[in-house]
Amino acid sequence: MPAAIVFSDQDIARAVDIRRQLHRNPELQFEEHSTAGLVARELAELGFAVRTGVACTGVLADMQGRPGSKTVALRADMDALPIVECTGLEHASRTPGKMHACGHDGHTASLLLAARAIARIMPGLDGRVRLLFQPAEESGKGAKQMIADGALEGVDAIFGYHNRPGLRRGQIAVKAGPTCGGGDRVQVVIHGKAGHASRPHLAVDPIYVATLVIQAWHGLVSRSLSALSSGVISVTSMHAGSQANAGSIPERCEMLVNIRSDSPQTREVLLTQAQRLATGICEMHGARAEIRILSSVPAVVNDAAMAGLVADALREADGVGPVLQLSSLPTIGGEDFSYYLQRIPGCLYFVGMGEEHADLHSSSYDFCDAVLPVAASAFAHIARAWLMRE
């Protein structure tokens, strides 16, 4: 029977202190210099072999157990968001316009806490554990850059979690297959024909055409997807004309569109049909659609065997609540952990923050410190279970 994974009161107090320190000093994507410095110092003190400057501000840390060729990776993201905090907490952000509104401070602190347990159990395990502290998850750029800089070299499997408001505090939830939505940011420019507002019949009004396109998009999900698939199309920005020329019909209307999908197949349907509708409706009215994909993050698709390993490892684990195995997609929100899963098997799971907890990306959000030892214990149990598997 493997030894219990436990944390001392001192270990937990240190994790809480780190989490709050990170929360007070949020750093945006690829600016996580102070965060990375703190992470590197903590890991070096625990005996990890540390590499900094990965993906600009990322950190890798390896610890070898007994001789063995297997390597399992655990990942935490570090970046904050450009949001003004309004929690009023003692440890609230001290940097105006920036805050940890998605809980990456908690992700980082919990993996550092897990590193303490991993350092204690590694002498009894065959193989290696690699810790990934990743920048720039919010933009979807960090994971790709970590991979480009060699973060997955020699790694056989990878695991990570995201905190989940609305899920019971400390509850672990895991799902095989599609787990987080993919996301595309699309720019659509509708080119019409400028004219006088009193004579629209002599112009081609791009605003009117845009409204027809938007209405068609809103029906696309229910008419083009299976009821068993999930997707969302939202127009998040629309601009045309100017106050200085309010008497004229503008020549163009520009929109930013956010398309979410639960799988590569759903993404292909939504993108293809959205472009087809926009192009066809514009042509019908004498306008022209210019469509460009600005950025794209694929859906998170967990390996079924790795999702099963997470559930089995945590079902009876000390310090970890009962595991909830999900049968339906828990969120259409994106996560660039998907890029790791395109390369190697792994699993992204969820840790509950509480049913009434403020939602992610909210100005009143704060990671629940009571969850730190639960999340850390889950990390350590998963790493041990993977290294001990046949």
- Looking at residue 170, what is its pLDDT? 94
* Mean pLDDT of all residues in 300-322: 89
Give the Cα separation of 133 and 60 in Å (integer): 6
Give the Cα separation of 272 and 108 in Å (integer): 38
Mean confidence (pLDDT) of the chain: 95
- Looking at residue 193, what is its pLDDT? 97
What tokens does 325 get?
Answer: 């195995």
* Mean pLDDT of all residues in 155-164: 98
Contacts of 30 (CB under 8 A, 6+ apart): 55, 56, 57, 79, 135, 136, 141, 142
Residue 187: burial class (beta carbons within 10 Å; 0-12, 13-18, 19+):
middle
Give the Cα separation of 134 and 272 in Å (integer): 32
- Looking at residue 141, what is its pLDDT? 94
- Looking at residue 28, what is its pLDDT? 98
User: Which phi and psi (to 5°) does residue 356 adopt?
Assistant: -105, 10
Sign of CA dihedral 36, 37, 39, 44: positive
Judged against a pLDDT cut of 90, whether residue 329 lies above it is answered with no
Judged against a pLDDT cut of 60, whether residue 1 lies above it is answered with no
pTM above 0.85, yes or no: yes
Residue 164 β-bridge partners: 352
pLDDT tens digits, one per residue of 261-288:
988 899 999 999 999 999 999 999 999 9
List, in order of start, the domains of the chain with CATH numbers: 9-179+299-388 (3.40.630.10), 182-297 (3.30.70.360)
Give the Cα separation of 340 and 73 in Å (integer): 10
CA-CA-CA-CA dihedral for 140, 145, 150, 152, to nearest 10: 0
**Kind of pairing, strands 195-196 and 248-249?**
antiparallel
Give the Cα separation of 105 and 234 in Å (integer): 29
pLDDT tens digits, one per residue of 12-46:
999 999 999 999 999 999 999 999 999 999 999 99
Residue 317's pLDDT band (cuts 50, 70, 90)? confident
The more confidently predicted of residues 134 and 389 is 134
CA-angle at 245, arms to 240 and 249, nearest 5°: 55
Residue 213's pLDDT band (cuts 50, 70, 90)? very high
